[in-house]
Amino acid sequence: MNLVDLRNYIKTQKGYAFKSKWFIKAGIPIVKVKDFTDDSISKENVDYINDELACDFDRYLLDTNDVIIQTVGSWASNPNSVVGKAVKVPSALKGALLNQNAVKIIPTEKLDKKFLYYTLRTDDFKGYIVNTAQGSASQASITLESIKNYNFHLPLLHTQKRIADILSACDDLIENNLKRIKLLEQAAQNIYKEWFVNLRFPGHENTHTNEENGLPDGWEEKKMDSFYSKYIGGGWGKENFQKGFDKKAYVIRGTDFNKIRSGSFDSIPLRFHKESNLASRRLSKGDIILEVSNGNLNKVGDVFLVTADIIKVLDLDIICASFCKMLRPKTLEMSIFIYHYIIEMNVNGSMLKYKSESAAGINNFHFKNFLAKETVKFPSQQTLSSFYSIVNPIHKQVSNMRHQNQKLKAARDILLPRLMNRTIEV
């Protein structure tokens, strides 16, 4: 197996600096490094340009499984946005256009595209490319020459394909699970909307309406702050970054929600903490986490429900820290209801009244105002319990699939170096 230079087996295409004034809410997606996940690209908050304008930028077009490298980002201490990260384009972003600070790596006929992707995911490449980076303390960048100069062992093409097939089998299962998770979550939200927005809950035909408040009998209007037993959040304090504390905890930030949803728990940072901090910030099943600060106004107010899979997989204390707040409803039934209530607020735009857009580019969700002012049409106990009995099993399925994804990613990451260095023959 020969040691070769990557430059002899690839072509490259840098992204284009699309102007922010072109961005609209729908059209052709523009893929930016901010949209990169651990190993893919999220469509959730991409910007768009119109179809007519996009016709002038065909050279930046992306296809499913195209390999992209982030050329501007952070140093290795921040793996979420580290420079040199390699991702592949998901089918949902086929036809998108590539923005600046990233480069598409195009293999020749002697290099399998999937094998290329896994080569760029190895610790060997990650260590090499970060060591070539230049920049300031807060931002690093790499050159195309650095990428092209990478040396690696290249097996015969049929062997490349067999290695890639083994690794991609794990990724295909992960992607299928993510699609199923999305469908299940939408199904649960549809039930919520049918019952509590359209008021077509079971037995609604025979339920009288209260003349005073206009709600079905047994329902009542309540302020959001009447549902919780505790809330926490905010910064964790500089002392927690110091060495010497013997307690570790996973720190969930507002920017981590997508990683958690996909099962990428291993990318959540571990920090040393004082026992007293852990006791006051420790998360439990049923807690609701809200993102309270972000450069993207649409992301502010994003919500995540803490489920059993997180507690089970991480096997360490988990705390809510920077850029997010935790709301702990009094019961699990309330947790499920309030979680879907907040999702509906984000979907219909009513959450905007608790958001503010900052001139400095940082947007905030006013959590305390939300608790004090938001009025909820709360159902009868019987309707609430019926909703919980139907929707909670859906959440358990989602939790199980996220747990499965975590195991699949762990298996893939164990196989990756062994297949690449031929410890395991194929």
pLDDT at 247 over 70: no
**CATH 3.90.220.20 domain span(s) along the chain:** 2-152, 186-387
pLDDT at 385 over 70: yes
CATH of 2-152, picked from 3.90.220.20, 3.40.640.10, 3.40.50.720, 1.10.3720.10, is 3.90.220.20
| φ/ψ (deg, to 5) at 217 | -55, 135
CB 278 within 8 A of CB 240: no
Query: Among 24-28, 113-117, 321-325, which is the least confidently predicted range?
Result: 321-325
Please state, in angstroms and rounded to a whole number, the distance separating the CA atoms of residues 305 and 287: 6
Among residues 323, 314, 319, which one has the least CA distance to residue 276? 319
Which tens digit of pLDDT belongs to each residue from 315-368?
667 777 767 888 899 999 999 999 999 999 999 999 999 999 877 778 888 988
pLDDT at 239 over 50: no
Which tens digit of pLDDT belongs to each residue from 143-174?
999 999 999 999 999 999 999 999 999 999 99
pLDDT of residue 165: 96
- Single-letter amino acid, residue 42: S
Please state, in angstroms and rounded to a whole number, the distance separating the CA atoms of residues 37 and 115: 20
Q: Given this structure, which CATH class describes domain 186-387?
A: alpha beta
pLDDT level of residue 266 (50, 70, 90 thresholds): low
CB atoms within 10 A of CB 179: 12
Query: Among 219-228, 238-247, 297-306, which is the least confidently predicted range?
Result: 238-247
pLDDT of residue 275: 65
Residue 322: helix, strand or coil by DSSP? coil
CB 268 within 8 A of CB 297: no
pLDDT of residue 237: 47
pLDDT of residue 77: 76
- Single-letter amino acid, residue 261: R
pLDDT of residue 229: 80
pLDDT at 211 over 90: no
The whole model's pTM is what? 0.83
Which is it for the CA torsion 393, 397, 402, 407, positive or negative? positive
CB 216 within 8 A of CB 208: yes
Distances from the Cα of 293 to the Cα of 324, 356, 371, angstroms: 7, 10, 16
pLDDT of residue 265: 64
